[in-house]
Chain A
Amino acid sequence: MAAPFEMTDDNVVVIIGTGAGGGVLANELAQKGVSVVALEAGGRYLPQDYVNDEWESFGQLAWTDTRTTSGDWRVAKDFSNLPAWIVKAVGGTTTHWAGASIRFQPHEWKARTTYGEVEGANLLDWPIDAEEMAPYYDRAEDKLGVTRTNGIPGLPGSNNFKVFEAGAKKLGYKEVHTGRMAINSEERDGRMACQQTGFCFQGCKWGAKWSAAYTDIPAGEATGNLEVREKAHVARILHDESGKVTGVEYFDTDGNLQMQRARVVCVAGNSFESPRLLLNSASSMFPDGLANSSGMVGRNYMRHLTGSVYGIFEKPVHMYRGTTMAGIVQDEARHDPSRGFVGGYELETLSLGLPFMAAFLDPGAWGREFTTALDAYENMAGMWIVGEDMPQESNRVTLSDVEDDFGLKVANVHYSDHPNDKAMREHAYRQGAAMYDAVGATRTLPTPPYPSTHNLGTNRMSERPEDGVVNRNGRAHDVPNLYISDGSQFTTGAAENPTLTIVALAIRQAEHIAGEMNRGSL
C-alpha cells in the first residue's frame, strides 16, 4: 500500500508531522498525484489501540519529550516540563482532539483593523479574509463531517449539555446548541455514529470522531503517492547555496540519522516543534534560524486564553457520560469592547474523568477545600472557555539549553498573559459561574488553564516579510520551497477552536503547491 520512495528522490514533497495540518496536506497532495514522504516522530495507533483510561492513554499518545517553560503563566509552575498537551503519533493531535469545528468570524481575519492598536500586543491582519476562505471551509466541513453543516444533524445533548443549556437560557443567551462537531451524529464516510462513550480525548474507539489517523492518512496511502514513515524524528532542514531547501535529516526508529532529499519541505510539527526545527536548522547563511530574517520565528505564541468553570449541584449530573465537548454558547464570541476587552470567547461543555480532574482542578492544591469539590464529582457539570488571546512578541518559543535524547536543543516556551487576556478570562469566569448559579449550583469553581491544547502563531502569516515568517500561502518569505502547514502560521488566534481553520488552510495550501509544481515554479 505505502509507496516507498528513495532517500535520494529529490522530486518528493517532504511533510514533517502528520496532524491536522500535515496529515490533511499529505492526503490532499497525494490525491493530486504529488509524491509525498511524511515523517512522523510518533508511532501509529488506531481505534483498536486506544484505551478508555486517561493516564494510560496519555502515556500512549501524548508528546512527553522534555520541554522547558518560563513566564508568569501558571502552567510554568505546575507543569514546568509539560507546557502543552499534544500528541506524538500518526494523525497528531487529531487523535486527542474533541472535534469542535467552528469557523472564524469574518472580522477575526482582520484583528488589527477591527481592534485597533492594543498596547503591548503585536496584532496584525491576516493577509487573507473570510470570503477567500469560505470555499475551503466548505470543503473542510465536508471532509470532517461537521454536524450542523452539509445537512448533518446535531449530536444529541448529554447530561452535561442539558445543565449548560438550561443555565445559558436563564441568562438570556440565544446561540446555544450541541456544537458543530467533527463527530458523526449518523453513519458517514464508512464511519459509525457516536456511541456517547465519553473518552473523546483518549482517541475514539468507534472511529465516530474524525481523526487524520484513520481517514486522510490511509486515504492518501491508498493512492500509492504517500509514504508515511513513523518514528522518524526530523532534526534539521538542509539547504543549498542558493538558499533553497534540499532535504531533511531525521532520526529513524532505531535512532540512526537519515537524510531524505526533497523538492519542497512542509513543516507541520505543531507550534512548539515547528519553530524549534527552524531554529535548530540555523546555518551560516541563516544564522538566526531558517526563514527567520524577520526575527519572528517562535514569537507571538498564542494558546487561547482558556480556563474552565465547574459547577456542583444537589443532584447527580454524570458529566463524563457522552461526548466531551458537544455544547456551545456563542453569544460572547462577538467583538464588543464595552465588556472591557477586545475580541471574544466561546463557552463549550467539557468533562474530565476523575483522574484528570484531580490533576487539573486546582494543581498543587490540597486539603478539604480541594477534596470536598472532588467528593462532589458525580454532581459536577463543566465548561471550557476558549477566547482570543493577544499575540505578544515576548511570548515565544526559543531554544533551551536542555537537550533531548538525540542531543537536539529542546523548545523553551515563554508565556505571560496580556491584560486583555486577564480581563476576558475574568468576564468569562463570571458568566460561566452565573450560568450554573442560575440553575441551582451550590458551588462554582474557576479552574486555571490546563497545559495548552491550542498552540498557535509561532511562524505567523503576514503580508510584509518583516512582520512574519510566511506569506498568504504559508510559504516562507525567505525560502521559496519551504512551507509552514500547521497552526503555527496563524496570524491571530480568533475565539474559535483552531483545527477546522488549520484543515481549511491545508486544503488551500495543497491546491497552491500542486499548482506551483505544475507551473514549474516549485
Chain B
Amino acid sequence: MIETRSLRTLTRRQLLSRGVAAGAGLVVGSGFVAGSDAAWAAEMDAMKPETFATLVQMARDIYPHDKVGDRFYAAAVKGYDAPQEVEFAQAGTDMLDDAARQAGFDGYRGAGWEADRVAILRGIEDSDFFQRVRGGLVTGLYNQKEVWPIFGYEGESYSFGGYIDRGFDDITWI
C-alpha cells in the first residue's frame, strides 16, 4: 500500500522561494518536487528532483486520469527515490529525455502537449524501463486507498455491515 500521506505540504511562500516551474502542474526545488498549488511536496531522499518530476509526468501520461491529482502519481513513483533504484530511474529518464530531444523537444517535460509525450512513450514502450514503471503503476497508483473514491469504488465493506442495507440493489434506472 502506497501512502499518499507520506507526501507533506509546503507553504506557498516556501514553494515560491525555493522552486522553479517544471512544466504542467509541477515545481522543482532543491531537494523536492511539489505541486504548483503547493498542496503537496515530495522530498527527495536519493534522487535528483528533475528526475522525479520526469517520472511523475511519465506516470500521468501512461495512466492519465484527469480527476486524479499529481500527488497520487508522485506517491506511486516515490519508491524509485531509494538508493538501490536511483540508477535505474536515472538511466531510464535519460533515455526518455534523449528520445524527446530526437523528436525535437527540450527533454521529456519540455514536450508541452500530452499527444507529443505519448508519441515519445510509444517509441520506448518495449524497453525494460517503460515496462517496469508501467507495471509498478498498476498497483502503485490503483492500490492507493485515497484514489478509490475518485473512481467511485468504496473499498472495505465488512466493518459497515456489507451492502445489504447500503445499496447492493439500489439501481433504479434499469
Contacts and interface: CB of A to CB of B under 8 A. Distances in A.
Contacts of A253: none
Contact of A197 (B62, B134, B139, B158): B158
Contacts of B63: 366, 370-371
B118 interface: yes
A206 B169 CA distance: 19
Interface of A: 52-53, 55-56, 156-159, 162-163, 166, 194-199, 205-206, 313-318, 320-322, 353-355, 357-359, 364, 366-368, 370-371, 374-375, 377-378, 439
Contacts of B169: 156-159, 162, 322
In the complex, the 5 A-B pairs of residues with the closest C-beta atoms, listed nearest first = A378-B152, A195-B162, A322-B168, A197-B162, A358-B142
**Most chain A CB atoms below 10 A, which of B118, B134, B169:** B169
A353 B153 contact: yes
Contact of A166 (B65, B125, B174): B174
Interface residues of B, number: 35
Given A322-B168, A368-B64, A371-B65, A162 B174 contact: yes
Contact of A206 (B67, B152, B162, B174): B162
Contacts of A157: 169
A370 B169 CA distance: 28
Interface in B101-126: 118, 125
A214 to B, nearest CB: 16
A163 B153 contact: no
Give the residue among A166, A314, A355, A358 with the most B Cβ atoms within 10 A: A355
22 contacts: A52-B157, A157-B169, A158-B168, A159-B171, A162-B171, A163-B174, A197-B163, A198-B157, A205-B158, A206-B162, A313-B173, A318-B154, A318-B171, A321-B166, A353-B155, A354-B148, A355-B143, A359-B139, A366-B63, A368-B64, A371-B64, A377-B152
B82 interface: no
Contacts, number: 112
Nearest to B66: A375
Q: Is the interface of A mostly helix, strand, loop or mixed?
A: loop
Interface in B140-174: 141-143, 148, 151-158, 161-164, 166-171, 173-174
Given A197-B162, A199-B157, A322-B168, A316 B64 contact: no
Contacts of B155: 52-53, 353
A294 B106 CA distance: 66
B151 A377 contact: yes
A127 to B, nearest CB: 44
B138 interface: yes
A34 to B, nearest CB: 37
Contacts of A375: 65, 67, 151
Contacts of B141: 358
A157 B170 CA distance: 10
B124 to A, nearest CB: 12
Given A353-B155, A371-B64, A196 B139 contact: no
Given A370-B63, A371-B63, A55 B139 contact: yes
Nearest to A197: B162
A166 B142 CA distance: 31
Given A52-B155, A354-B148, 18 more contacts: A52-B156, A158-B168, A162-B174, A195-B162, A197-B157, A198-B162, A205-B158, A206-B158, A314-B173, A315-B173, A318-B154, A320-B154, A321-B167, A358-B138, A364-B134, A374-B65, A374-B142, A374-B151
